[in-house]
Amino acid sequence: MCPFCLTTMGLFVAGVVSTGGVAALAVRVSRKRTKPEKSSRIQVKGEMKMTTSTIENAKIVSRDEWLAARKKLLAKEKRLTRERDALAAERRQLPWVKVEKNYVFDSTDGKKTLADLFDGRSQLVVYHFMFGPDWNEGCPSCSFNMDHTDGALVHLAQRDVSFTAVSRAPLSKIDAFKKRMGWRFAWVSSYGTDFNSAYRASFTEDEIAQGKVAYNFDLVEFPSAEAPGISVFYKDNNGNIFHTYSAYARGTENVVNTYNYLDLVPKGRDEDELPFPMAWVRHRDRYASGYLADTNRPYWPADAVPVR
């Protein structure tokens, strides 16, 4: 969730992102809405206002009719749950790749190896947070994702799982932004290493110059040197580390619980009339001002209005 691709990939990578998300797995009822005028430009300054679209012509029925429709949908939801469980089991059966390189990261506690990031546990989830070396702050969409993380840390630890975000920004920028956001999760810098590139969450100038980069297990056009993703690692009793799984683009979306709630309400994600999915998202301390991002626009669509 992705993250950045959940916002701008709607413009740049056909098929990677579509609006509606998990809601598309549920039965949709055709309804007409009154919608605010669609703009091709993105508000980046001024107070963000709650969406004003409304639902018209909803089908109104008796309680018994509603119950019958709800049970019909429940059968589909249960089938989806079983399919999701089966898919998760299949994911766990993927073969592993041994990590041969000794990656070293900058952390607030000094240099840390990839093995150190496991923090005494055998499983590690890495979130590839879009924050380039020359950026002034982290990606708004990745920040939206990470707003859902801190509360899960204690529970993950009970299941032998550690979590770390990794970015190419220098540690000083990461620490300042992390403090601003009030986050507690571990976040290290891979600045000067090829870790993000090796796990296809950042791209070299030469790769970008080719027109397409290897992302989400395909060759696609991509507007940024940074990309979102999740990579999973396992460490055995002998200290060997294995790469077991990676997901990109909308493959990261299931950890964004705000969307899970939005998929339950009548208006859903309410993004269909936006210039791109998640155009409404801001850093959580920026909704009042509407300010979107750095003025050099490292992760904006090309026609976004710069802040003066």
Stretch (H or E) spanning 193: none
Identify which has the larger pLDDT, 56 or 100: 100
pLDDT at 20: 30
Q: How confident is the model at residue 57 (pLDDT cuts 50, 70, 90)?
A: confident
State yes or no: pLDDT of 104 exceeds 50: yes
Radius of gyration of the chain (CA): 21
Q: How confident is the model at residue 303 (pLDDT cuts 50, 70, 90)?
A: low
State yes or no: pLDDT of 1 exceeds 50: no
C-alpha distances (whole Å) from 306 to each of 16, 223, 294, 298 are: 26, 17, 9, 12
Q: Closest Cα to residue 119, out of 173, 169, 156, 152?
A: 156
Q: Report strand pairing: 161-167 vs 186-189.
A: parallel
Q: What are the structural domains of the chain?
A: 1-63+98-308 (3.40.30.10)
Assign residue 128 a region (left: φ > 0; alpha: ψ between -120 and 50; beta: otherwise). Answer: beta
pLDDT at 214: 95
State yes or no: pLDDT of 11 exceeds 50: no
Residue type, 245: Y
- Residue range 201-209: average pLDDT? 93
Whether the CA torsion 29, 32, 34, 35 is positive or negative: it is positive
Q: Where are the beta strands (DSSP E) in the chain?
A: 32-34, 54-56, 97-98, 104-107, 110-113, 123-128, 161-167, 186-189, 213-215, 218-220, 229-235, 241-248
Identify which has the larger pLDDT, 171 or 25: 171
pTM strictly above 0.85: no
Rounded distance between C-alpha atoms, residue 213 and residue 224, angstroms = 10
Report the chain's mean pLDDT, rounded to a whole number. 83
Contact 76, 226 (CB under 8 A): no
